[in-house]
Amino acid sequence: MMSNQKEYNRRLIEEFRSNGGKVSGKFADVPLLLLTVLGARSNQPRTTPLAYTTDRDRFILIASNNGSGSHPDWYYNLLAHPIITVEVGPERFQARAVIAEEPERSRLYTQMANQMPAFAEYQRNTERKIPVIVLERIDS
**pLDDT tens column, 99-132:** 999 999 999 999 999 999 999 999 999 999 999 9
pLDDT at 5: 84
Structural domain of residue 81, as residue ranges? 2-137
pLDDT confidence tier of residue 1, bands split at 50, 70 and 90: very low
The average pLDDT across 18-41 equals: 95
The average pLDDT across 55-78 equals: 96
pLDDT confidence tier of residue 140, bands split at 50, 70 and 90: low
Task: Name the β-bridge partners of 138.
Answer: none
The average pLDDT across 62-67 equals: 95
What's the DSSP call for residue 30?
S
pLDDT at 139: 78
Ramachandran angles phi, psi of 65, nearest 5°:
50, 40
Residues 6+ apart with CB under 8 A from 54: 60
Exposure of 96 in the CB half-sphere (CA atoms within 13 A)? 6
- Do 47 and 13 meet the contact criterion of CB atoms below 8 Å apart? yes
Let me know the angle formed at the C-alpha of 138 by 137 and 140, rounded to the nearest 5 degrees: 125
pLDDT at 2: 54
pTM for this model (two decimals):
0.93
pLDDT tens sequence across 35-58? 999 999 999 999 999 999 999 999
Query: DSSP alpha helices (H): ranges in 19-100?
Result: 73-80
- The helices-and-strands tally (H runs, E runs) of the chain is 4, 7
CATH of the domain at 48: 2.30.110.10
Q: How many structural domains does the chain have?
A: 1
